[in-house]
């Protein structure tokens, strides 16, 4: 697992990194669930890239942005360049739920005794009508999605699990 390039910076240099980031960004370094810096504000990402160039740790990759945001979240005096806590990298799993309306053909293969292939489906339909077989009792052998529309994509924060 490869961490952020910023981990290699000394405490003094990392402090200067955040002082410069605050100057270039031009606003208080503050992250919030209601206004996440990396989603809502391209100027923040541009500022991170600029400061990363200045300190020789460019490009500012996703793991570097994660490191920067975590330092902002865990150090209340970061706007003055005071860093009391450095984060440790972990490995996590998470779920993304995709809600879709789908038109599809699903095939379930059934096996049955019969005296003739000509009467087999008639008898199978009668058995299903009477509740003696269920379409889903068969072996799922194929799914053909021929149309779908994504209604919602939800990043499930409750699913986050630390693996190591």
Which residue from 87, 36, 95 is spatially nearest to 64, judged by alpha carbons? 87
Q: What is the pLDDT of residues 90-99, one digit of tens each?
A: 999 999 998 9
Give pLDDT, residue 1.
Answer: 59
Q: Are residues 135 and 65 in the same domain?
A: no
Q: Tell me the two tokens of residue 88.
A: 């440790």
pLDDT digits (tens, 9 = 90+) for 20-50: 999 999 888 887 776 677 776 789 999 999 9
The list of the chain residues with pLDDT below 50 reads none
Domain boundary among 89, 124, 152: 89
Angle at which helix 42-54 crosses helix 11-25, to 10 degrees, equals 140
Position 34 scores a pLDDT of 63
Q: What is the DSSP string of 69-134?
A: HHHHHH-TTGGGT----------EEEEEEEEEEEEEEEEEE-----S-HHHHHHHHHHHHHTTS--
What pTM does this model have? 0.73
Specify whether 60 is located in the same domain as 112.
Answer: no
**End-of-domain residue from the set 36, 66, 89:** 89
């Amino acid at each position: 697992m490869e961490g952020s390039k910023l981990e290699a910076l000394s405490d003094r240099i990392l402090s200067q990194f955040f002082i410069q980031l605050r100057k270039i960004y031009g606003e208080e370094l503050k992250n919030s669930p209601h206004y996440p810096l990396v989603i809502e504000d391209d100027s923040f990402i541009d500022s991170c890239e600029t400061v990363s160039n200045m300190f020789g740790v460019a490009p500012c990759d996703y793991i570097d942005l994660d490191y920067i945001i975590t330092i902002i979240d865990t150090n209340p005096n970061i706007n003055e360049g005071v860093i009391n806590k450095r984060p440790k990298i972990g490995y996590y799993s998470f779920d993304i739920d995709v809600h879709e309306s789908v038109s599809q053909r699903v095939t379930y293969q059934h096996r049955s005794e019969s005296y003739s292939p000509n009467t087999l489906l008639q008898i199978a339909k009668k058995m299903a009508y009477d509740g003696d077989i269920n379409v889903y009792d068969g072996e799922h052998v194929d799914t053909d999605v021929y149309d779908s529309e994504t209604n919602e994509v939800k990043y499930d924060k409750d699913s986050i699990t630390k693996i190591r």
